[in-house]
Chains A and B, each alone.
Chain A
Amino acid sequence: MPVHKLVEEFKIDPSKVFDYLDSLYDNIKRVENKIQSFITIIPQETLDRYVENLIKENKHRIDNLKLFGIPIAVKDNISTKGIRTTCASKMLENYVPPYNATVVEKIMREGGIIIGKTNMDEFAMGSTTETSAFYPTKNPWDTTRVPGGSSGGSATALASGEAPLALGSDTGGSIRNPASFCGVYGLKPTYGLVSRYGLIAYASSMDQIGPMARNVVDLAILLSVIAGHDPRDSTSVPFVQSVDYVQELYKLYHKEPKLRIGIIKEFFEGSEEPVKKAATKAVDLLCSYHECQEISLPFSKQIIAAYYIIAMAEASSNLARFDGVRYGMKIDFTNRSWDEAFTEVRTKGFGYEVRKRIAIGAYILSAGYRDMYYIRALKLRRVLKERFDQIFKDHDIVVSPTMPILPPRLGEFFKDPLRIYLADVNTVAANLVGIPAISIPVDFYNGLPVGLQAMAKQFSEPLLLYVAKQLEDRTGFRDILAQP
Chain B
Amino acid sequence: MLSSSDSNILEYLERLTLIKFNEEEKKRVYEEIKKVIELFNEVMKVEGLDNVEPLYHVVEIELPLREDEVLDAIDENHELLKDNAILENDYVKAPKTVGA
A441 at the interface (CB under 8 A from B): no
Residues of A within 8 A of B70 (CB): none
- Asked if A327 and B43 make an inter-chain contact with CB atoms under 8 angstroms apart, the answer reads no
In the bound assembly, the distance between CA atoms of A445 and B16 in angstroms comes to 47
Nearest residue, chain B, Cβ from A373: B40
In the bound assembly, the distance between CA atoms of A375 and B71 in angstroms comes to 36
Q: Give a binary string over B1-31; 1 marks a CB under 8 Å from any A CB, 0 the rest.
A: 0100000011001101111110001000100
A380 at the interface (CB under 8 A from B): yes
Residues from 221 to 248 in A contacting B, C-beta threshold 8 Å: 231-232, 234-235, 237-238
User: How many whole Å from A303's CB to the nearest CB in chain B?
Assistant: 9
Are A343 and B39 CB-contacts (below 8 A) given A379-B54, A379-B55? Answer: no
In the bound assembly, the distance between CA atoms of A372 and B49 in angstroms comes to 11
- Determine which residue in A363, A376, A434 has the highest number of CB atoms from chain B within 10 A of its CB, and name it: A363
- Asked if A378 and B56 make an inter-chain contact with CB atoms under 8 angstroms apart, the answer reads yes
A99 at the interface (CB under 8 A from B): yes
- Asked if B61 and A338 make an inter-chain contact with CB atoms under 8 angstroms apart, the answer reads no
- Asked if B18 and A380 make an inter-chain contact with CB atoms under 8 angstroms apart, the answer reads no
User: How many whole Å from B62's CB to the nearest CB in chain A?
Assistant: 10
- Asked if A308 and B54 make an inter-chain contact with CB atoms under 8 angstroms apart, the answer reads no
In the bound assembly, the distance between CA atoms of A325 and B93 in angstroms comes to 8
Q: Give a binary string over A340-383; 1 marks a CB under 8 Å from any B CB, 0 the rest.
A: 11110011001010011011101110100000110111111111
- Asked if A301 and B80 make an inter-chain contact with CB atoms under 8 angstroms apart, the answer reads no
User: How many whole Å from B99's CB to the nearest CB in chain A?
Assistant: 9
- Asked if B95 and A341 make an inter-chain contact with CB atoms under 8 angstroms apart, the answer reads yes
| Residue of B49, B74, B79, B80 touching A376 (CB-CB under 8 A) | B49
- Asked if B40 and A326 make an inter-chain contact with CB atoms under 8 angstroms apart, the answer reads no
- Asked if A382 and B46 make an inter-chain contact with CB atoms under 8 angstroms apart, the answer reads no
Nearest residue, chain A, Cβ from B29: A356
Nearest residue, chain A, Cβ from B17: A362
Nearest residue, chain B, Cβ from A299: B46
- Asked if A326 and B39 make an inter-chain contact with CB atoms under 8 angstroms apart, the answer reads no
Residues of B within 8 A of A418 (CB): 32, 35-36, 39
| Complex interface: stretch among A18-26, A69-77, A116-124, A328-336 | A328-336
What's the tally of chain B residues with a CB closer than 8 Å to chain A? Answer: 56
| Residue of B43, B46, B79, B84 touching A309 (CB-CB under 8 A) | B43
| Residue of B45, B55, B71 touching A382 (CB-CB under 8 A) | B55
- Asked if A338 and B94 make an inter-chain contact with CB atoms under 8 angstroms apart, the answer reads yes
What's the tally of chain A residues with a CB closer than 8 Å to chain B? Answer: 71
| Residue of B80, B81, B100 touching A338 (CB-CB under 8 A) | B100
| Residue of A205, A234, A338, A376 touching B44 (CB-CB under 8 A) | A376
Residues of A within 8 A of B33 (CB): 356, 359-360, 363
In the bound assembly, the distance between CA atoms of A360 and B29 in angstroms comes to 10
- Asked if B58 and A327 make an inter-chain contact with CB atoms under 8 angstroms apart, the answer reads no
- Asked if B17 and A358 make an inter-chain contact with CB atoms under 8 angstroms apart, the answer reads yes
- Interface of A (DSSP majority class): helix
- Asked if A382 and B54 make an inter-chain contact with CB atoms under 8 angstroms apart, the answer reads yes
A302 at the interface (CB under 8 A from B): yes
Nearest residue, chain B, Cβ from A330: B84
| Residue of B37, B59, B92, B96 touching A191 (CB-CB under 8 A) | B59
- Asked if A98 and B75 make an inter-chain contact with CB atoms under 8 angstroms apart, the answer reads yes
In the bound assembly, the distance between CA atoms of A310 and B52 in angstroms comes to 17
- Asked if B79 and A98 make an inter-chain contact with CB atoms under 8 angstroms apart, the answer reads yes
B42 at the interface (CB under 8 A from A): yes
Residues of A within 8 A of B14 (CB): 359
- Asked if A377 and B39 make an inter-chain contact with CB atoms under 8 angstroms apart, the answer reads no
- Asked if B13 and A359 make an inter-chain contact with CB atoms under 8 angstroms apart, the answer reads yes
| Residue of B54, B66, B80, B95 touching A325 (CB-CB under 8 A) | B95
- Asked if B17 and A302 make an inter-chain contact with CB atoms under 8 angstroms apart, the answer reads no
**Besides A325-B95, A383-B49, 16 other A-B contacts (C-beta < 8 A):** A98-B74, A191-B59, A234-B64, A302-B45, A305-B41, A328-B84, A333-B94, A335-B100, A336-B96, A347-B19, A373-B40, A375-B54, A376-B44, A382-B54, A383-B52, A418-B32
A-B contact pairs, 19 of them (CB 8 A): A205-B57, A232-B72, A299-B46, A301-B39, A302-B45, A306-B43, A327-B84, A328-B84, A337-B97, A346-B18, A350-B19, A352-B25, A358-B17, A359-B19, A359-B29, A363-B2, A363-B9, A378-B56, A421-B36
Binding site for A on B (CB under 8 A): 2, 9-10, 13-14, 16-21, 25, 29, 32-33, 35-37, 39-46, 49, 52-59, 61, 63-64, 66, 71-72, 74-75, 79-81, 83-85, 92-97, 100
Binding site for B on A (CB under 8 A): 94, 97-99, 191-192, 205, 231-232, 234-235, 237-238, 299, 301-302, 304-306, 308-309, 316, 323-328, 330, 333, 335-343, 346-347, 350, 352, 355-356, 358-360, 362-364, 366, 372-373, 375-383, 385, 417-418, 421, 432-434, 458
